[in-house]
Amino acid sequence: MRVRRKRRLGVVGVLGGLALLAGSTLLGACGSTPPPTRESGAFAQVPSTLTAPLVTTIPSTSTLLPTAANTPTEEPFTLPSPEDQVATAVAFQTALVRHGAEILTSVALSPRPTYVGGPGPMLETPGPTATWGTTWFECGSPDSGFDPQFYSCWQGTVAGVRLYLLAGREGHSGDIRQGLLEVDEVDNRSPYPDFMKLYQTPQKVGAVRIAAVSGTRVMLLPWNAQPTPVSFVFDLATRQWVPLTPLPSPSPGPSPLPSPVPSGTP
């Protein structure tokens, strides 16, 4: 049994050697090199990553960012000096004056357009022309309570002169018990100056109103009821108050007759 085993091992060994010899011959014929061995020293030619030194410290962020020496620096902002501010203002004003002078010079040298006659262009359609007439109108509010206050206003033509009549009282800058009549002319055709247009009533009865206009005379009545009826008449032609003729006082009636004495009285 042992002899048979030895013989089998010998045969296997011979066959393995033949196969190894045939493989080496085939590789040599293809031009390939045998695999590197440790004895041949081929492993020393390939650098190993395990031989690199390990990093034991973490780099700081300052080394990752650019340093101040490598970045461009901006100049610091500084306010101009008072002398520079004055010089800038003077230069600006000088430029304005020069620009204005250039405009005036160009206008003076421009040719003046020739007028060819006829009406100018109408920019908008004119409204109807207001007609003058006799009417009452709203007086409106004064600028303040210190100005004269008017409550009754009339317009019309008196003796060929167009007039505005305003009746009321003085403002708080004067005596509010003083009545007023203002006469405004539209055409200024009368001989009276403009400053002669306010006339005070002969009596202080407060505000007055226009009751009637007849010819050249205007009748005024107190705005508020008075204990004793009173009226004023103003002449527009003479610009004076007309005194009213008092009405005749009623004459006393006949004396009563004596009562009859009843008969049978002792």
Least confident of 51-60, 66-75, 144-153, 195-204: 51-60
Q: Of 19-23, 36-40, 188-192, 204-208, where does mean pLDDT reach its minimum?
A: 36-40
pLDDT of residue 266: 44
DSSP readout, 67-114?
A: PTTTSPPPPPP-PPPHHHHHHHHHHHHHHHHHHHHHHHHHHHHSPPPP
pLDDT of residue 94: 94
In the predicted model, is pLDDT for residue 140 greater than 70?
Answer: yes
Provide mean pLDDT across the span 7-15. 55
Give residue 3's pLDDT: 44
Question: Cα–Cα distance between 64 and 219 in angstroms, integer?
Answer: 105
pLDDT digits (tens, 9 = 90+) for 32-68: 555 555 555 544 555 555 555 555 565 555 455 555 5
At 119, the pLDDT band (50, 70, 90 cuts) reads low
